Amino acid sequence: MMVGLLSIFSSSYTLIHNQKLFEFFKRFMSLKQQEDVAVENRLQVDVVVIGYGKFGRRVVRILHKQGMHLAILEENPKAYKQALADGFEAIFADATSQEVLRECFGNQLKMVISTIREFDDDRVIAKQVKLLNPQLVFVALTLHQEYALELYDAGADYVLLPYHISAAHMGALIEELEFDVKRFLEKKSVNRQLIEALLAE
């Protein structure tokens, strides 16, 4: 009955975006009902793009054109509203929280792409993604070669350096490698050697 009432008074987005509302109703629900609501409201997407800034928007548009089912994770209110206005599924939340990835997205999720260029946050996200599911592909963006190596050490499967590759290359890379973590790791080895060579110059 409580699940039915929640369905009437709250859309799935309300439950995802307003954790306080869910916490209020949760006290009246059995553990099974809580689990049913959580599962029902998970977004079934292939790719999560963290950040909807200039680069994030370009990545989203390229992946959308390729037919990818994706969602955006954004903690900036203005950028979050823009993502919704552009017609994309979006979650307003902190991407460094493993609970967000676990509770908001279903088992269909295959890849997480961070475009935020916040090294400390990306390092945390890389570890959280791999703790959640080692087979999830995690791609990050950084402006610094030194940071790229540290992100690899934290678990990133591929790190984009904008000075060397573009958002268009990101789309081509995913189209080529699909969601195969082994193939990403092969590319990682080559890319890491390139970064180390650049640092040695």
Reported as a single tens digit per residue, the pLDDT across 107-153 is: 788 999 999 989 999 999 999 999 888 999 999 999 888 899 999 99
Kindly tell me if the per-residue pLDDT of 82 is higher than 60.
yes
pLDDT at 164: 65
Domain coordinates of the chain in residue numbers? 2-40, 47-200
How far is it, in rounded angstroms, from Cα 87 to Cα 5? 28
The pLDDT-based confidence of 191 (bands split at 50, 70, 90) is confident
To the question of pTM greater than 0.75 for the whole model, the response is no
For domain 47-200, give the CATH superfamily. Answer: NAD(P)-binding Rossmann-like Domain (3.40.50.720)
Asked whether residue 60 carries a pLDDT value surpassing 90, the answer given is yes
The pLDDT-based confidence of 4 (bands split at 50, 70, 90) is very low
* Strands of the sheet with 158-160, listed across from one edge: 89-92, 70-74, 47-50, 111-114, 137-141, 158-160
Task: Check whether 174 has a pLDDT greater than 80.
Answer: yes
Confidence band, pLDDT 50/70/90 cuts, at residue 38:
very low
- Confidence band (pLDDT; 50, 70, 90) for 28? very low
Distance of alpha carbon 63 from alpha carbon 94, whole angstroms: 22
Tokens of residue 130, six digits: 């791999």
Share of the chain above pLDDT 90, in %: 40
Specify the pLDDT at position 201.
61
Strand partners, 70: 47
Contact status, residue 123 vs residue 152, Cβ threshold 8 Å? no
Judge whether residue 168 has pLDDT over 80. no
Has residue 177 got a pLDDT over 70? yes
pLDDT of 123 reads 95
For position 162, what pLDDT does the model report? 74
